[in-house]
């Protein structure tokens, strides 16, 4: 269901509270990937160009409801200032008198970034008092935080019921692009899923099995399915308690005529600190070694399938791609997805990181800013942050 768009609102001279998702990875106080900040720029620039005073709210990490300097948004304000080429004001509080005073002093064309919303204990419980405090900061509320749309928080849901509320440009794009995967996708439709745990993605797997023509599995989650099919996976990461679910997945794929591709060869080593791994058949995994990547034969099979696709969804790496010795499977899939003549959607932090590292982001149809939100959307769930906004 399309939601009321900020494009339809008169924002000139108004204070607009924008919930963004600037939950970016950082190392020693330095942002290592600013993809999510870039994704929100169209909404911010649009509001500034139309004469709004913009107040931004975001979470960062998991500070557990209390201030923690490690999770301060100060580095984000600095990076945003660089990208917008204008000063971004900050305030040391999330809501309350100081935040209200800073918001009231804003003039058209100015920006204020509130401190980390999760510094407030009422944020994650959708506390009405905190939602009301957010509402006192502005005249209009805009939700542009697709990555947090699956959370019922004060800054995503609570405040939306207290101010005239709209969907931001990023939120609208995410909804439109992901809906293309569910509503009459061009075929063949190929889904590629990886990551550590099959349990994390059982819901989306079940939903996608009713829509895709082929399902390609890699990463730790594939180990559990290999285990369910009787393979000895050595000391590899797996979820033995999920073997019945994995068997059910295989059976449902067969019943629905979905081509389920599992690794036929893998890269193994005794540990993650190995300088190199060895490619072996899935029938010959040594008992004292672990699977850390898909092998060259599997890469070729996966890429052949990807090359036939007209619609592609990819979420999750094929192995421990952060380690150079085990990165080739994920990077090869990234290159094949980019080269495909298809509508492509990539979601999930690790998959996006692989795309960015490969330098081929421009070749992807849509890079989703939502990890868990994307998966829940594709499960067919109603996302609270979107549901709280008025329909168009």
Residue at token pair 């439709």? 189
What CA–CA distance (Å, rounded) separates 223 from 238?
A: 6
Q: Given this model, what pLDDT does residue 1 score?
A: 62
Structural domains counted in the chain: 2
Query: Are 233 and 150 part of one and the same domain?
Result: no
Q: Given this model, what pLDDT does residue 94 score?
A: 97
Listed residues 139, 170, 201: the one ending a domain: 170
Q: Given this model, what pLDDT does residue 239 score?
A: 94
Q: Given this model, what pLDDT does residue 197 score?
A: 87
Is there a domain that residue 384 lies in? Answer: no
pLDDT at 290 exceeding the cut of 90: yes
Query: Are 304 and 158 part of one and the same domain?
Result: no
Rg (CA), the chain: 22
Q: What pLDDT, in 10s, does the model give residues 337-386?
A: 999 999 999 987 677 877 777 788 888 999 998 888 998 998 888 999 99
The pTM of this model reads 0.90
Per-position b or e across 185-202, b if 16+ CB within 10 A of its CB = beebbbbbbbbbbbebbb
Query: Are 146 and 280 part of one and the same domain?
Result: no
What CA–CA distance (Å, rounded) separates 21 from 19?
A: 7
Mean pLDDT of 39-66: 97
Query: What phi and psi, each to the nearest 5 degrees, are found at residue 216?
Result: -110, 125
| CATH number of 361's domain | 3.40.50.1260
Query: Are 212 and 311 part of one and the same domain?
Result: yes
Query: Are 166 and 79 part of one and the same domain?
Result: yes
Query: Are 116 and 164 part of one and the same domain?
Result: yes
Q: Given this model, what pLDDT does residue 231 score?
A: 95
Mean pLDDT of 247-254: 94
What CA–CA distance (Å, rounded) separates 168 from 7?
A: 8
Of the chain, the percentage scoring pLDDT greater than 70 comes to 99
Q: Given this model, what pLDDT does residue 372 score?
A: 85
Q: Which residues are catalytic?
A: 36, 197, 349, 372
Highest mean pLDDT among 19-33, 64-78, 341-355: 64-78
Mean pLDDT of 110-124: 98
Is there a domain that residue 386 lies in? Answer: no
Work out whether the CA dihedral 62, 68, 69, 72 comes out positive or negative: positive
Domain of 259, in residue numbers: 178-378
Listed residues 120, 137, 170: the one ending a domain: 170
The per-residue pLDDT of the chain, averaged, comes to 94
Is there a domain that residue 390 lies in? Answer: no
* Least confident segment among 30-39, 135-144, 147-156, 301-310: 30-39
Query: Are 10 and 27 part of one and the same domain?
Result: yes
Query: Are 219 and 358 part of one and the same domain?
Result: yes
CB-CB contact of 345 with 177 (8 Å): yes
Query: Are 242 and 184 part of one and the same domain?
Result: yes
Q: Which residues pair with 128 in a beta bridge?
A: none
Q: Maximum Cα–Cα distance for the chain, whole Å?
A: 68
Listed residues 170, 202, 231: the one ending a domain: 170
Is there a domain that residue 159 lies in? Answer: yes
Is there a domain that residue 269 lies in? Answer: yes
Query: Are 246 and 297 part of one and the same domain?
Result: yes
Query: Are 153 and 182 part of one and the same domain?
Result: no
Query: Are 145 and 206 part of one and the same domain?
Result: no
pLDDT band at 184; cut points 50, 70, 90 = confident
- Tokens at 348, concatenated: 């999930």
Is there a domain that residue 388 lies in? Answer: no
Is there a domain that residue 308 lies in? Answer: yes
Closest CA to 20 of 58, 52, 53, 73: 58
Q: What pLDDT, in 10s, does the model give residues 254-263?
A: 999 999 999 9
174-to-15, 103, 160, 362 alpha-carbon distances in Å: 25, 29, 19, 17
Is there a domain that residue 187 lies in? Answer: yes
pLDDT at 51 exceeding the cut of 90: yes
């Amino acid at each position: 269901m399309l939601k009321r768009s900020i494009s339809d609102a008169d924002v000139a001279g108004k204070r607009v509270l924008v919930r963004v998702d600037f939950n970016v990875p950082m190392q020693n106080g330095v942002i290592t990937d600013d993809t999510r900040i870039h994704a929100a720029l169209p909404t911010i620039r649009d509001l500034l160009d139309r004469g709004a005073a913009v107040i931004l709210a975001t979470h960062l990490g998991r500070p557990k409801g209390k201030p923690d300097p490690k999770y301060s948004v100060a580095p984000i304000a600095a990076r945003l200032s660089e990208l917008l080429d204008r000063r971004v004001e900050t305030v040391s509080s999330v809501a309350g008198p100081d935040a209200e005073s800073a918001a009231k002093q804003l003039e058209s064309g100015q920006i204020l970034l509130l401190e980390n919303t999760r510094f407030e204990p009422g944020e994650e419980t959708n506390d009405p008092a905190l939602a009301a405090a957010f509402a006192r900061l502005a005249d209009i509320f805009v939700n542009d935080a697709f990555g947090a749309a699956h959370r019922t928080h004060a800054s995503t849901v609570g405040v939306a019921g207290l101010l005239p509320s709209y969907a931001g440009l990023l939120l609208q794009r995410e909804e439109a692009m992901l809906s293309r995967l569910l509503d009459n996708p061009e075929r063949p439709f190929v889904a590629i899923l990886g990551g550590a745990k099959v349990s994390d993605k059982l819901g989306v797997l079940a939903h996608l099995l009713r829509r895709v023509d082929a399902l390609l599995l890699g990463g730790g989650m594939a180990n559990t399915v290999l285990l369910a099919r009787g393979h000895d996976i050595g000391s590899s990461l797996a979820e033995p308690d999920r073997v019945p679910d994995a068997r059910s997945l295989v059976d449902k794929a067969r019943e629905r005529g979905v081509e389920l591709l599992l690794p036929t060869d893998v890269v193994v080593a005794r540990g993650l600190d190995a300088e190199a791994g060895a490619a072996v058949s899935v029938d010959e995994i040594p008992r004292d070694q672990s699977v850390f990547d898909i092998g060259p034969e599997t890469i070729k099979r996966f890429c052949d399938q990807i090359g036939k696709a007209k619609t592609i969804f990819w979420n999750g790496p094929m192995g421990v791609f952060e380690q150079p010795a085990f990165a080739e499977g994920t990077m090869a899939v990234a290159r094949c997805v980019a080269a495909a003549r298809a509508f492509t959607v990539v979601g999930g932090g690790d998959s996006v990181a692989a795309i960015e590292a490969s330098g081929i982001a421009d070749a992807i149809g849509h890079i989703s800013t939502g990890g868990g939100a994307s998966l829940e959307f594709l499960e067919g769930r109603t996302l609270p942050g979107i549901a709280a906004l008025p329909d168009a």
